[in-house]
Structure 1
Amino acid sequence: MILKIADILKNLPWSFNSTAELPWLDRSRAEKSLQKARQQRRISEREYQLLDHWRELGYCIVKDLIPATAIDNLVAELADLFFLESAIPGLRIEGIQAENLPASLSHDQVLALDIEQRKALVNSIWRLHAFHEISPAAQAIFDNQNLRDLVNLIIGKSCEPRYSINFLHGTEQGLHEDMAVFYVHPANHLVGVWIALEDISADAGPLIFYPKSHKNIKVTDFFPDYPAVNLKNITAEQIPQYQDYVNQRAQNYDCQSFTAKKGEILLWHGMLIHGGGKINNTLLTRKSMVIHFIAEGGDYNDRALGPFNW
């Protein structure tokens, strides 16, 4: 008998086989469970409102979790980054969209550019991955206990911050679901966090998202072999198919823009459709930090097999 890869994967310990593995707010009795938690005073009224909003819409917005001084310290570090006297070992600038420059540069390569090239680079689209591993200011936000406590409450178990990205400008990133990008088990034990490091203009390419798009959908609807296979290691031919799939799904929901004030935070469900809005004014910045939380023991990235698309 010849076994298909899907049949083999079903027997792996990371296969999805029960809705009981879903976070508590994704289960069929979530509304009743939430009401019971409020009645028993295991959660406050404010927490109830946030969690019920999450259950129904797939996101929530909070503020005042991160001190303004922590944000200011990070913004100051980012502002000086391309004009330091010596390079930071291990730091790379990724996703560069600047004329005559590659998509990725090490920090020492950036500092080797002439001053005008560096100024042009600062004003282009780029991103920093895992800056929290280098920057004490980014680390302070990454490890913020108030934020972690809220994520734990949403998922219903202990979670940890796993990945961070810092942006200076909007990206116009295509629509996607984060579960399609990360290798997470059990399903949906993932929370995206977008922190506004300044007031965000509607013309700066704000984060856009589609409330309720997290409902009645599973990551395995498009990736039947998930978490072994996701957007990072599907075939090149399947990538546009996924993009069409998400774009078509998004048409069933209203689009919202996160034109946040400095310090406001959007938390979203792992299956919520989101992306980068259109940049109408390239002179505007969109300073932000993104953190992805995953339930402890639920990050299967190191088990994934390539080849990878990025």
Structure 2
Amino acid sequence: MDIQRSGAAILANPDSKMASLRQMNMPWFQTPFFKTLLEEADLAEDDKKLVATYAQDGYLIIDAKIPELDSFCERLIAALAPLYRGHGRIQDAWKENTDAKALALLPEIDRVLRLLYQRDPIPFQTLNFAEGTEQHTHSDTVHFHSVPHGFMCGVWIALQDIDATCGPLHVYPGSHRMPAWDFHDLGLPSGRESYQHYEDCMQAYVEAAGLKKHIVTMKKGQAVIWSATLLHGGEHIEERSKSRHSQVTHYYFSDCLYYTPMFSDPYIGKMQMRTITDIRSGKIVPNMYAGKPISLFSDIPTPASIAPAATAVAEVLRRLLDRAKRWTR
């Protein structure tokens, strides 16, 4: 699907009801004009239904269209088995395993993400699991965020059939429309030590808002795509002998700043920016703001630039020390 056939192209069409508006700096399914934009989009009806479902629920389940599915999954599971070494996950297996990389680059996933976000999707991290995580409810925006907001998502692919007993994912449909709360909003200091309190806050929010949990059971080769602010987690593992082989790929989108909210305090100018690698090319992706690249180190003085100031400070300190010596005589 050509990104320019909807979104910006609709706003540029003088016959569009939205022609007088600028394209908003957010995913189109989050704008107040989404219904009209979708009606006018030059898309197949099935694709319109996909986007409408994502806008409503914050997630989708699709066929990932993995070639030679059974042999592919068996090969990847066997190759990664020795690498877990008692840990529950393997991060960035794509760097060593071509099948893990292939999952992150599946054409059908790329197509659907372009459809949903109207920008170039950038796969930047993979996580592989042999069993359920039982992870508490959270949204990915505590770990990964962007400016403009919302241009991040996760794609979880089942490498085996996933039933209710092996610790499947759970999601809270519609929770992606909640605010993208950071630690400051919840009265917490930034840092890893606040994460448990964050999880407690999310559970309290779910109960207070009356959100309904949905257990995501899946067939091998299916993928669930969720938006950055969707609340999700891992269910209790009822049968400990069961595996839950899967791969998550996290995606950012082009022309954004990328940062980690857990370690940031943006209101006082402290942001832990991310240096992300595009899995497709292996190259670093520039952070962008208002269409311009932003250097993460542009504001850090070089030794040459601070030398005059350092010399001046040293001279002031020397004079103060001399004066203090005279006062004590």
- Same fold by TM-score, threshold 0.5 exceeded? yes
Considering Cα pairs closer than 8 Å and 6+ residues apart, tell me whether 1 or 2 has the greater RCO: 1
Give the percent of matched residue pairs that are identical in Structure 1 and Structure 2: 27
Letter paired with 1:304: Q
Identify unmatched segments of 5+ residues in structure 2: 1-21, 261-270, 275-329
Q: What is the TM-score with the length of structure 1 in the denominator?
A: 0.70
Deviation sequence 1:23-73 (CA, Å, 0-9, x none) = 110111112211221xxxx1111101110000111111111522243x633
Number of aligned positions between the proteins: 239
Kindly tell me: are residues 203 and 82 of structure 1, through their superposed partners in 2, closer, same or farther at Cα, counting changes over 3 Å?
Answer: closer
SS in 2 for 1:161: strand
Post-superposition offset of 1:82: 4.8
Deviation sequence 1:248-291 (CA, Å, 0-9, x none) = 22222111111100111111111000000010001111111101
Post-superposition offset of 1:304: 1.3
Q: 1:267, 1:77 → 2: CA distance?
A: 21
Letter paired with 2:182: F
Partner of 1:255: 213
Post-superposition offset of 1:158: 1.2
Partner of 1:63: 63
Deviation sequence 1:100-134 (CA, Å, 0-9, x none) = xxxxxxxxxx5xxxxxxxxxx4xxx6111111111
Identify unmatched segments of 5+ residues in structure 1: 1-17, 84-91, 94-109, 111-120, 226-230
Kindly tell me: are residues 58 and 243 of structure 1, through their superposed partners in 2, closer, same or farther at Cα, counting changes over 3 Å?
Answer: same
**Conserved in 2, the CA contact under 8 Å of 1:166 and 1:289?**
yes
SS in 1 for 2:247: strand
SS in 1 for 2:175: coil
**Conserved in 2, the CA contact under 8 Å of 1:190 and 1:269?**
yes
Letter paired with 1:222: D
**Conserved in 1, the CA contact under 8 Å of 2:51 and 2:116?**
yes
**Conserved in 1, the CA contact under 8 Å of 2:183 and 2:198?**
no
Q: What is the TM-score with the length of structure 2 in the denominator?
A: 0.67
Q: 1:244 aligns with which of 200, 225, 244?
A: 200
SS in 1 for 2:237: coil
Partner of 2:310: none
**Conserved in 2, the CA contact under 8 Å of 1:191 and 1:293?**
yes
Q: 2:240 aligns with which of 282, 290, 304?
A: 282
Partner of 1:235: 191
Letter paired with 1:49: K
1:75 equivalent in alignment to 2:74: yes
Aligned counterparts, 1:270-309, within 5 A: 270-298=228-256, 300-301=258-259, 304=272
Q: 1:177, 1:248 → 2: CA distance?
A: 14
**Conserved in 2, the CA contact under 8 Å of 1:192 and 1:269?**
yes
Kindly tell me: are residues 24 and 223 of structure 1, through their superposed partners in 2, closer, same or farther at Cα, counting changes over 3 Å?
Answer: farther
Q: 2:100 aligns with which of 138, 150, 174?
A: 138
Letter paired with 1:274: H
Partner of 1:149: 111
Please give the root-mean-square deviation of Cα atoms over the aligned residues, in Å. Answer: 2.6
Partner of 2:50: 50
Partner of 1:171: 133
Letter paired with 2:35: E
Post-superposition offset of 1:298: 2.8
Kindly tell me: are residues 147 and 64 of structure 1, through their superposed partners in 2, closer, same or farther at Cα, counting changes over 3 Å?
Answer: closer
Letter paired with 1:277: E
SS in 2 for 1:160: strand
Letter paired with 1:27: T
